[in-house]
Amino acid sequence: MSFKNNLNTQVPKYPSTSFTLIELMVSIGIIVTVIISAVGIYIYSIGPQQKTIATTNLQQDGQLILNLIAKDIRMYRWDYGGDCVNNPIHKINLIDNNSPVTLVKYQRCKWVGSPPSITDCSVGETDCFLAKCKGSTCPDSCDSSYKQLNMTDTYITRFDVYLNPPCDPFASNATEYQIPQATIVLELKSYKERFGERRIKLQQTVRQVYQEKSQY
């Protein structure tokens, strides 16, 4: 009798602990929303910091270039090449009176081909770097004798030089004596900027010293 009663005893039922498909989809949606919100907050917080770092790097790079150019302008004299120049010019040609003659040239160049080689960069192009050539021979066009000056993560988008006077004041037919000076306008762009484009423009006026000393 007791065995029969045991058979009739109902087995307790426990509530199911599994998730339904709707509950699972809702949970996933909440998790995705939280992750997207967190990523958005992170990007928003680091964006200004990266912009500040990019601007600082551009300013430092540009100022180093301008200081280097200013030093050379004061040490050498402008090579007018016997002609007057039309401002703005996009190159710097310097020379001294030593023997052998030392030339210093600055201009924008770019990398092309594979393996890459250096060639001239036109006025409208932006993927360019500033290069310098110094020696007894420096070609007018960019080649392997030109060395890159700016950092590899920046472009030189503008390099304008306003020379005053535009004609050689020390030429035999010059009518007025005036120490040459150059106003250099340099624009740099960071191509690793992830949150918008970052550009800066720097300007500096440098007075020639070399020719002035040679007059006395």
pLDDT in tens, 104-154: 999 999 999 888 899 999 988 988 999 999 999 999 999 999 999 998 888
Q: How far apart are CA 140 and CA 175, in angstroms?
A: 29
Amino acid at 124: G
* pLDDT over 50 at 216, yes or no: no
Q: Is residue 47 part of a domain?
A: yes
| Burial bucket for residue 1 (CB in 10 Å: 0-12, 13-18, 19+) | exposed
Phi, psi of 133 (to 5 degrees): -125, 130
For the chain, report the end-to-end CA distance as a whole number of angstroms: 135
Q: Is residue 115 part of a domain?
A: yes
Q: How far apart are CA 118 and CA 103, in angstroms?
A: 19
Q: Is residue 20 part of a domain?
A: no
Task: Identify the band that residue 5 occupies on the pLDDT scale cut at 50, 70 and 90.
Answer: low
Which range, of 10-14, 92-96, 172-176, averages the lowest pLDDT?
10-14
**What confidence score (pLDDT) does residue 45 get?**
56
Q: Give tens-digit pLDDT for 141-182.
A: 999 999 999 988 889 999 999 999 999 888 888 777 888 999
**What confidence score (pLDDT) does residue 209 get?**
86
Question: Could you give the number of structural domains in the chain?
Answer: 1
Q: Is residue 49 part of a domain?
A: yes
Which range, of 3-17, 50-64, 65-79, 83-97, averages the lowest pLDDT?
3-17
Q: Is residue 27 part of a domain?
A: no
Count of helix runs (H) and strand runs (E) in the chain: 3, 9
Say what the alpha-carbon torsion angle 131, 68, 179, 184 is, to the nearest 10 degrees: 60
Domain carrying residue 50: 41-214
Q: Give tens-digit pLDDT for 34-74.
A: 888 777 665 665 555 566 777 788 889 999 999 999 999 99
Q: How far apart are CA 61 and CA 138, in angstroms?
A: 24
Q: Is residue 165 part of a domain?
A: yes
Q: Is residue 3 part of a domain?
A: no
CB 61 within 8 A of CB 188: yes
Handedness of CA 163, 168, 173, 179 (dihedral sign): positive
**Where would I find the beta strands (DSSP E) of 71-213?**
77-78, 91-95, 103-112, 117-120, 129-135, 147-148, 154-164, 181-190, 198-207
**What confidence score (pLDDT) does residue 3 get?**
47
pTM score, whole prediction: 0.73
Does 91 or 52 have the greater pLDDT score?
Answer: 91
Task: Identify the band that residue 211 occupies on the pLDDT scale cut at 50, 70 and 90.
Answer: low
Handedness of CA 31, 37, 43, 45 (dihedral sign): negative
